[in-house]
Amino acid sequence: MAERRINGVFFDLGWTLETPASGSWMFTNRFFESVPKERFYAIPDAVRTAAEKEASRVLYEHHYTETLEEENRKFTAYFETLNRLLSLGLNNAEIDVIAQDHTYNFQNYVLFDSTIPTLKTLKEHGYTVGVISDTWPSTVPQQKEAGVYDYYDFLVLSFELGVLKPDPRMYETALEQMGLPAEQTVYIDDLTMSLDKAKTFGINGICSIAEDPSRIVEDYPCVRHPGEVIDVIKAMNGGLL
């Protein structure tokens, strides 16, 4: 009897299993209530990008984060710096509200329609399912509220390790927790640099092009939403699911 080639599935979260309600991971709808999109994006790209990079130092230079409160403090500092560098005109009370919304408002993130059916199908067919994602402590309660957390056998989250993809520790930890040979696993992510690093460990890759379905990726099979992952895995398994 034929055996499956793939038995374990790693998912990224952003643009793979869920989308930002505002279209931006950093700037929620509440941010755009205070700083309208047309004004924010009228700032020259180079100026805005440089300011975002400088403000992000507080988020990523010491990325290890233990609590939601610490996450909120970091994002408060982020928006304070951005406000100063870009002269956005926000007062302290507005910055506090924006940072709190970013941390505690789980409605800022929306599952794809096919996310839960896909996870349910994989679990029903005996796959081990894990997450490898650059994210924050708020992700755990957000995933629970969204009803997907219990489908995961484990999660490897950047804030717990203090490093971001493509740091090797993310993939090493994921493979340890998966407990399968790398060649029996597949990783779905929207960033090819993350898939490229996973490939060096022997992990197969699938690229999510949900953010831009017209995007062309030559090195990996592509999916436009989580539901298409099932067909790609079946093809990798010679028709077996």
Residue 142 shares a structural domain with residue 43? no
Last residue of a domain, one of 65, 86, 104: 104
Q: Read off the amino acid at residue 76.
A: T
Q: 79 lies in which domain range?
A: 29-104
Distance of CA 67 to the CA centre of its chain: 18
Distance of CA 19 to the CA centre of its chain: 9
Residue 1 has pLDDT above 60, yes or no: no
Model confidence, pTM: 0.96
**Residue-wise pLDDT tens digits, 112-126:** 999 999 999 999 999
Provide the pairing of β-strand 185-189 with 8-11: parallel
Q: Which residues of 181-214 are buried (b: 16+ CB within 10 A; e: fewer)?
A: ebebbbbbbbbbebbebbbeeebbbbbbbbeeee
**Residue-wise pLDDT tens digits, 12-70:** 999 999 999 999 999 999 999 999 999 999 999 999 999 999 999 999 999 999 999 99
Place 7 in a pLDDT band, splitting at 50, 70 and 90: very high
Residue 215 has pLDDT above 70, yes or no: yes
Residue 159 shares a structural domain with residue 205? yes
Residue 198 shares a structural domain with residue 158? yes
The tally of domains found in the chain comes to 2
Query: Average pLDDT in the 221-231 region?
Result: 98
Residue written as token pair 């028709």: 239
Distance of CA 118 to the CA centre of its chain: 17
Residue 14 shares a structural domain with residue 81? no
HSE-up of 173 (CA within 13 Å, CB side)?
20
Residue 220 has pLDDT above 80, yes or no: yes
Last residue of a domain, one of 70, 104, 138: 104
CATH code of the domain containing 196:
3.40.50.1000
**Residue-wise pLDDT tens digits, 72-112:** 999 999 999 999 999 999 999 999 999 999 999 999 999 99
Residue 205 shares a structural domain with residue 123? yes
